[in-house]
A and B are shown apart, each in its own frame.
Chain A
Amino acid sequence: MSAGPDAARPTPRIAVLGNPNTGKTTLFNRLCGVRARTANFPGSTVEGRIGMHRSPAGHVELELVDLPGSYSLSIDVPEARVCRDCLQGSLDGVEPDAMLVVLDATNLRRNLQFAAQALAHRLPAVVALNMWDTARARPECVDPAELSRRLGCPVVPVSGRTGEGLAALDVALDTVVDLPFGADALVARLQRLPPADATQAMLASWADQVTRAAAPAAATPARDADDSLVDRVDVALTHPFVGIAVFAVTMAALFSAIFMVASVPMDLIDLVFGRAAEAVRSALPEGLLADLLADGIVAGIGGVLVFLPQICLLFFLLSLLEDSGYLARAAFAVDRVMRRFGLSGPSFVPLLSSHACALPGIMSTRLIRDDRERLATILVAPFMSCSARLPVYVLLIGILSVGRPAWFAGAAFVACYALGAMAGLLTALLARRTVLRGPARPLVLELPPYRVPALRNALLVTWDRALVFLRNAGTTILAISVVMWWLSAFPRSDGPDARSQQAGSFAGQLGEAVAPAFAPLGFDSQLTVGVLTSFLAREVFVSTMGVLAGAGSDADVSDRTVLEQVAAMPRADGTPVFDPATAAAALVFFVLAMQCLPTLAVTRRETGSWKWPAIQFGWMTLVAYAGALVAHAAVRAWGGAA
């Protein structure tokens, strides 16, 4: 029997559980603030948070676990499994000392069904009657004292939003972990609850009974007047045309905001780290150490941090949208379209986010309930044209559109984005018919009430996501940068310029060796080196080509932009590297290829095995190669005919 804190484990653990959207996280954030970390539970895709809380009055430190919201403890979904495991102590080996069941006071009946299941566990419990700020104003408000009598445990009305009732909650929590919890207390509580193996119907009728007793006025049907306005908004936002149009506009606004706002800190980070690299160089004697620090480590850290503004902004804005209640409607509206491709509404946002960067896109697939669907979404997310491809598009489309009408470049940009999205959706369809075959899960989604989003929650989500990114993806990206530096810096050549260093390095040798494979696409060995280095991170392509082109021609380098230099780059035989067919092939290759090691690392982390990154890499490279081959042949044929 668990009996409060003991000497061996000084911090009692309290499991925080409840239905989704009851304000568990808000309450948890109130209590723990930034003294919390995201916890990835072993063998599960859902995550929770663990935080520390010390009540102002109390002397005990409490460890709170914010569990994922679940509609029932007995159903077979990941969230319910995590909650059950946590209550039984099999989640991470620590048995909780008490539970804090969070109920939404404005939706008591359904919440009580969950409470009955939770309270049947042999743990001391406190019930937090959340949303008290809203519930109190309603005529059908529940009486906490009566509810407490019915449930056999303390019931504290609180509001995570305004903070009222938190002092009382602290007292209740302190008391509950201090007092021994005997068998008689449990028996007394169990007598009031429905039997342990109660069906949902029995739970419902018990909940109804308790609701009638504790909140007599709640038995009357919901209020019509304000509902009908919400109804109208819901009808519009989930309408097949209006709803999708509103969603498209919202997302377009979201991403333009991210692009515009994030570009400032991103440029700043670029600048600062560029300066830092220079500073390192000038401070240290010329040599390996300076190279490693400047090109490997400082540039590597810069390469990690440069993703951070977009990730933070995306999660901040998404969290606001989700909190407002809009995101659930949007997912419901796009469900029909996504279903055609074997995906569903909740996959849309991750895919859209991937247009900024596949990393946050893949990280946000956790909203998808179905495992296979989630894997399919992760698999195809990198097909979306992320912002790291943009510099490459600019370079190659610039080369392609020389001497063509002005609309050509714009059309080419749109075509690139469309090509990536189509390839992704068709791949999803293919995967759902083959490796990820499974029934499309019919969508049943709770549409939470519209609310003014809580800034505090959004900031904490952002903080959390940033930490997760830095801790996991960050270390990988840094390692890659160092390896990449090593590949292009060794073996050291005595040649005078960067070009001979590039050619003689392992990367250069590799390019020479692999060049025959890319010859059908019209790539020469220089372009092959560019493509190979960009397999680690595609933005590198432009700088590699810049180095190769700049180093190759000694005359009037400074008068020409990098773009012009690259466009004019000669092959070994003097003809330009980028004839139209080759440029088109390279462009298609960059649209479709998996050239981002950080993404592979995140895929590995999110899927828990190397199998999926391997499939992702293999398939995308295959599609990219085939696409580039077709593009090369097509432009050749077309050019020949013209």
Chain B
Amino acid sequence: MRPDDHVCLCFRVSLRKLQNHLERERPTVASQLSECLGAGTGCGWCVPFLRRLHAQHAAGTLPALDESHEEYARRRTAYRAGRREGTYDRLPSDPMAAEPDRSPASPVRVPLTQLRRGQRAIVDCANLADLPEGERCLLHAMGMHDDCQLRVCSPGAPCIVQIDDTRLGISAEVARRIMVTPIEDGDRRAP
């Protein structure tokens, strides 16, 4: 993996940033790496790798990962796909993945496409990491960022949502990847 490759794909934290953070802050436990731009607090995939980097630094070597980035990203996608289908529920036991709201085990997280018209929800953009960079940035800039609140105007895939006073039309392939936590009737899943 090259220094500019992202180790934490959810929060786009590069290897270089982590190296610098380790050098500057000298964290005593691996979980403190989450202070570096939230690394490891998304899907949790990168947590074992963050631990490895921390251990390398503690041992006095330059933290590095020898996996190719493509392979790394591919395995993460598989990990997340498996988790979505429930075949992979071994969750990272590391404290840094324990942020309650985003806990991957949280039962109420559903794809945006499952909400009903008028329903409100809190957005989690973690799964958008496989979108092309440009699209993801655009979506963020249009107002669709982590923890923002949206309201469904036209349900399904594609769908229309409203964030503040902005209405966004979102095509099916993007909408399916946006995970949300409903805040109204949150316990009753839409059919």
Contacts and interface: CB of A to CB of B under 8 A. Distances in A.
B94 interface: no
Interface residues of B, number: 38
A445 B5 CA distance: 29
Interface in B82-140: 117-118, 120, 131-135, 137-140
A77 B145 CA distance: 19
Interface string B153-191: 110001010111111111101100000000000000000
Interface string A391-432: 000000000000000000000000000000000000000000
B169 A221 contact: no
Contacts of A447: 160, 167-169
B145 A204 contact: yes
A101 B173 CA distance: 34
Given A71-B141, A200-B141, A221-B151, A442 B131 contact: yes
Chain B interface, DSSP helix/strand/loop, else mixed: mixed
Interface string A210-250: 00000000000110100110110011001000000000000
A107 interface: yes
Contact of A77 (B138, B139, B140, B165): B138
B146 interface: yes
A74 B137 contact: yes
B35 to A, nearest CB: 14
A450 to B, nearest CB: 10
B55 interface: no
Contacts of B168: 444-447
B162 A71 contact: no
Contacts of A443: 158, 169-171, 174
B158 A71 contact: no
B49 to A, nearest CB: 21
Given A74-B137, A75-B137, A235 B117 contact: yes
Contact of A234 (B37, B132, B144, B154): B154
A355 interface: no
A442 B135 contact: yes
B41 to A, nearest CB: 12
A72 interface: yes
B145 A446 contact: no
B26 to A, nearest CB: 23
Given A71-B142, A442-B171, A222 B164 contact: yes
Interface in A76-132: 76-77, 106-107, 109-110, 113-114
Contacts of A110: 142-143, 163-166
A201 to B, nearest CB: 6
Contacts of B78: none
Contacts of A113: 141
Nearest to A230: B153
B165 A332 contact: no
A441 B170 CA distance: 12
A145 to B, nearest CB: 22
A445 B169 contact: yes
Given A228-B118, A445-B168, A445-B169, A222 B162 contact: yes
A181 to B, nearest CB: 27
Contacts of B117: 231, 235
B138 A221 contact: no
Contacts of B14: none
Interface of B: 37, 117-118, 120, 131-135, 137-146, 148-149, 151, 153-154, 158, 160, 162-171, 173-174
12 contacts: A71-B142, A72-B137, A72-B140, A200-B141, A201-B140, A222-B162, A231-B154, A234-B160, A238-B154, A332-B160, A442-B131, A447-B160
Given A230-B153, A446-B166, 6 more contacts: A109-B143, A114-B141, A222-B165, A228-B118, A235-B153, A441-B135
